[in-house]
Amino acid sequence: MKDDKWGEILDRILTNFKVLSREQTQEDVAEIETLVFEAPIGKIKLVRTVRPAVLDKKVIGAHRRGKSSAQYEYIYSPDEKVSTFDAYREVDGEWEKMDADAFS
């Protein structure tokens, strides 16, 4: 999802719904933005993750039977970004994943 499309969705939500929480976190190389709001169908949580595109994956340690698993080193693009968008609906206190295309 492009930044401008995400901005449009945020603008619509902020003006039309009651926002319960909004946070931005950094996890390893990913930037995660989470928004929880009250909609007519109940609580909705939107999660957008932006991370650098993976250019290469190098094996550092080999997998040996019965021992540890292989370890990898990822080479990231300095300018290309990949973003993912997930939507969840609260059902009986648990977050259930929704079809993200419903928000496009």
Residue corresponding to tokens 């990231």 = 76
pLDDT digits (tens, 9 = 90+) for 24-64: 999 888 999 999 999 998 999 999 999 999 999 888 776 66
Confidence of residue 65 (pLDDT cuts 50, 70, 90): low
pLDDT attached to residue 37 = 95
In the chain, where the domains are located: 3-52+80-103
Query: What token pair was written down for 62?
Result: 């080999």
In terms of Cβ atoms closer than 10 Å to its own Cβ (0-12, 13-18, 19+), residue 65 is exposed
Alpha-carbon torsion 38, 44, 45, 47, what sign?
Answer: negative
Please compute the mean of the pLDDT values over residues 60-75 and round it to a whole number: 72
Confidence of residue 66 (pLDDT cuts 50, 70, 90): low
% the chain with pLDDT above 90: 51
pLDDT attached to residue 57 = 87
Q: Given a cut of 80, is residue 84 above it in pLDDT? A: yes
